[in-house]
C-alpha cells in the first residue's frame, strides 16, 4: 500500500474564525426551540434562516469561484457541517450544498454549472438528489429506474424513495439507466408527471419524500453532462455525503458527551454527584475515547476528499466509526440522564434519532465496512 497521506489537523486561523462565527450564529438562531418548531412543520426549513446561512457564506464555501462560489475546500465546509450537527440544523443543506452542488460540479456541462451553481451559492436554490428506490439503496448498482428515449426527449417512469427534502427542493437531480449506462437528470419540481409525497421520518429534523415519476418528459437540456457517465459522479457524491454526515455525527456526539458530563457533575444521588461513581465515570471516559476517535476519522476524511484513492478508505472509515460513536454516545446519554433522558421534553432524543437515521443513510455501518474491506483488499 502507498504511503498514507498525512493531513494537518489543526484549524487555520480562518477556519477557527469560521467555527466561532458559525457556532455563535447557530446558538443565537437555531435554539432547540427553533429546531422543534421546524420539526413539526412538513417542510422542515425556515426561509429566513436558509438565507442567513447563505449570507454567512456557508452555501458558497466549496463552490468554485468561477461559478459564483468562494472557492474554498471541503475542509472549510466541514467546519460548518460539524457545527450544524451539534445544533441539529434543520433544512436541505446536505441535499443541496453537499449532494446536488457536487453532482453538478462533477458531472455538469459548463453551461449547466453557470446556470445552477450561482443560485446555490447565493441561497436561492434548494435542491436534492433522488437516487434510490428501495430500503437497501447504497450504491449505483441499486439504481434501476430507466429513462426511455423519445426523439430528443427523455421519458422517466418509476419511484424514487427516501429523497431528502424531495417535497421542498426546486430542482431534483435524479438518476436513471439510459442506453449507455447511468445518467443524471435535472428535473424541476413543477414538471408534469412528477409527484412528491412527504413521508414522516424517524429524525423529524430531516424531511424525506417519495417521488413518483409518471411519464415525466424532459428535454435534452435536462441531461446532466453526457449520457451514460453518471456512475463515477454518483459514487463520489455518495462518499462526500458520507463524509459530511460523519462530521455532523461528530458535532452531535460531542453535544451528547458534554450533556452527559454536565449531568454527572450536577445530578446528586446517595449524597454524591453521580459522576463520582465509577459506573458513570467510566462510561463517560469510554464515550470520550470514542468521540475523539470519531473526530480523527472525520477530520482526516474532510481533508483528503480530493485524493480519490484515499477517499475510498477514508469515507467508509469515517462513516462507520462516527456512526457507531454517535449512536453509542446518544444511547449512553439517555442511560446516564435516566428517566429525564427518555422524555420528549429533553433534547437527547433528537440526537438519538439523528444518530440512528444518519447511520443508515447511504449504507449502514456494515455496508461501510464492506466498502472499506474492498478498498483494503480484504
Judged by beta carbon, residue 229 or residue 320, the one nearer another protein is 320
3-state DSSP call for residue 155?
strand
Judged by beta carbon, residue 133 or residue 248, the one nearer another protein is 248
Min separation Cβ 113 and another protein, Å? 34
> DSSP secondary-structure letter at 159?
E
DSSP code string of 185-219: EEEETT-TTEEEEEE--SSTTS-EEEEEEEEEEE-
Min separation Cβ 281 and another protein, Å? 4
Min separation Cβ 329 and another protein, Å? 13
1, with CB counted inside 10 A (0-12, 13-18, 19+), is exposed
Min separation Cβ 376 and another protein, Å? 7
Judged by beta carbon, residue 73 or residue 276, the one nearer another protein is 276
Judged by beta carbon, residue 1 or residue 48, the one nearer another protein is 1
3-state DSSP call for residue 144?
coil
Give the distance, in angstroms, between the CA of residue 113 and the centroid of all CA atoms in the same chain: 22
Torsion angle of the four alpha carbons 314, 320, 323, 329, in this order, in degrees rounded to the nearest 10: -100
Judged by beta carbon, residue 136 or residue 226, the one nearer another protein is 136
3-state DSSP call for residue 99?
helix
Residue that the C-alpha cell 429506474 belongs to: 145
Min separation Cβ 242 and another protein, Å? 13
Min separation Cβ 303 and another protein, Å? 11
Binding site for another protein (CB under 8 A): 1, 3-4, 6, 8-10, 261, 264-265, 272-273, 275-278, 280-282, 284-286, 288-289, 292-297, 299-300, 317, 320-321, 366, 369-370, 372-373, 376, 378
Instruction: Report yes or no: 274 and 280 within 8 Å, Cβ to Cβ.
Output: yes
Judged by beta carbon, residue 303 or residue 353, the one nearer another protein is 303
Q: Enter the C-alpha cell of residue 187.
A: 428535473
Amino acid at each position: 500500500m502507498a504511503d498514507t497521506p498525512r493531513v494537518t489537523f489543526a484549524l487555520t486561523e480562518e477556519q477557527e474564525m469560521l467555527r466561532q462565527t458559525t457556532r455563535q450564529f447557530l446558538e443565537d438562531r437555531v435554539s432547540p426551540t427553533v429546531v422543534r418548531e421546524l420539526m413539526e412543520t412538513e417542510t422542515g426549513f425556515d426561509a429566513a434562516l436558509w438565507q442567513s446561512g447563505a449570507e454567512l457564506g456557508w452555501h458558497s464555501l466549496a463552490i468554485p469561484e468561477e461559478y459564483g462560489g468562494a472557492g474554498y475546500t471541503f475542509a472549510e465546509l466541514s467546519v460548518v457541517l460539524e457545527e450544524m450537527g451539534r445544533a441539529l440544523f434543520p433544512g436541505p443543506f446536505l441535499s443541496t450544498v453537499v449532494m446536488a452542488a457536487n453532482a453538478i460540479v462533477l458531472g455538469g456541462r459548463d453551461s449547466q454549472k453557470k446556470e445552477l451553481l450561482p443560485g446555490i451559492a447565493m441561497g436561492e436554490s434548494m435542491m436534492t438528489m433522488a437516487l434510490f428506490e428501495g430500503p437497501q439503496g447504497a450504491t449505483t448498482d441499486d439504481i434501476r429506474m430507466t429513462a426511455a428515449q423519445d426523439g430528443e426527449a427523455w421519458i422517466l417512469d418509476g419511484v424514487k424513495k427516501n429523497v431528502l427534502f424531495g417535497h421542498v427542493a426546486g430542482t431534483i437531480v435524479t438518476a436513471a439507466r439510459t442506453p449507455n449506462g447511468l445518467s443524471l437528470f435535472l428535473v424541476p419540481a413543477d414538471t408534469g408527471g412528477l409527484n412528491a409525497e412527504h413521508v414522516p421520518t424517524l429524525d423529524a429534523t430531516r424531511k424525506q419524500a417519495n417521488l413518483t415519476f409518471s411519464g415525466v418528459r424532459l428535454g435534452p437540456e435536462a441531461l446532466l453532462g453526457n449520457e451514460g457517465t453518471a456512475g463515477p459522479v454518483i459514487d463520489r457524491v455518495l462518499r462526500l455525503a458520507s463524509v459530511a454526515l460523519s462530521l455532523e455525527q461528530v458535532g452531535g456526539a460531542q453535544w451528547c458527551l458534554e450533556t452527559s458530563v454536565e449531568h454527572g457533575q450536577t445530578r446528586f444521588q446517595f449524597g454524591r454527584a453521580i459522576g463520582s461513581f465509577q459506573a458513570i465515570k467510566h462510561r463517560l471516559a469510554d464515550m470520550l475515547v470514542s468521540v475523539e476517535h470519531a473526530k480523527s476519522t472525520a477530520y482526516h476524511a474532510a481533508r483528503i476528499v480530493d485524493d480519490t484513492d484515499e477517499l475510498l478508505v477514508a469515507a467508509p472509515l469515517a462513516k462507520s466509526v462516527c456512526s457507531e460513536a454517535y449512536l453509542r454516545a446518544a444511547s449512553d446519554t439517555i442511560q446516564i440522564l435516566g428517566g429525564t433522558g427518555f422524555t420528549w421534553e429533553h433534547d437527547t432524543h433528537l440526537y438519538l434519532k439523528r444518530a440512528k437515521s444518519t447511520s443508515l443513510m447511504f449504507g449502514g455501518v456494515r455496508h461501510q465496512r464492506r466498502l472499506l474491506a474492498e478498498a483494503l483488499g480484504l
